[in-house]
């Protein structure tokens, strides 16, 4: 018998109530400040922003939109949005994520007066397939989609 079965059996026998603070669960399951520097998460966030944006996005503005989206997605993060958006390491990782997305054909970088990005058809299809999944990846993709939409419509009020 595994430990969870034993706990369930004890709960049935003893009829006790288990109270769990949901804020503790959210804080435990949420990312740490360092985990938002992961290039796959940044790439997925940037691709979602590019897809949700009605206009092409300047790469110079992208780090601020990325951190605004991530702060909306992970409201338990205890970091300063302005400070992290200007972080050299965060900007470097965002640039690496943009390069990866461009090389895989999920976004295109336009060389107009300022470098701007746009989601390609392949990028849009990729995001659609992720959002349709029923696992944690699908949950993450849908959450980032909602957060990017809120950040783009509401501005960068969290920064």
Task: Give the model's pLDDT for residue 89.
Answer: 84
Task: Give the model's pLDDT for residue 108.
Answer: 92
DSSP the chain: --HHHHHHHHHHHH-------HHHHHHHHSPPGGGGG-HHHHHHHHHHHHHH-SSPEEHHHHHHHHHHHHHHH-TT--S-HHHHHT-HHHHHHHHHHHHHHHHTTSEEEEESSSEEEEE-HHHHHHHHHHHT-SSHHHHHHHHHHHHHHHHHHH-STT-
Averages of pLDDT over each 10 residues, the chain, 159 residues: 58 50 47 68 88 82 85 71 72 89 90 86 90 87 89 64
| CATH classification (class only), 32-154 | mainly alpha
């Amino acid at each position: 018998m595994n430990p969870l079965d034993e706990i369930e059996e004890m709960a049935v026998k003893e009829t006790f109530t288990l109270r769990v603070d949901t804020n503790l669960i959210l804080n435990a399951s949420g990312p740490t400040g360092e985990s938002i520097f992961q290039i796959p998460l940044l790439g997925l966030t940037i691709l979602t922003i590019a897809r949700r944006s009605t206009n092409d996005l300047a790469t110079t503005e992208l780090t601020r939109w990325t951190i605004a989206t991530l702060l909306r997605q992970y409201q338990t993060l205890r970091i300063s949005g302005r400070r992290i958006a200007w972080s050299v390491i965060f900007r470097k990782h965002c640039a690496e994520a943009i390069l990866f997305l461009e090389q895989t054909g999920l976004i295109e970088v336009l060389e107009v007066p300022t470098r701007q990005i746009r989601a390609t058809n392949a990028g849009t299809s990729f995001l659609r397939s992720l959002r349709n999944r029923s696992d944690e990846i699908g949950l993450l993709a849908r959450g980032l989609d909602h957060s990017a939409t809120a950040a783009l419509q509401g501005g960068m009020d969290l920064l």
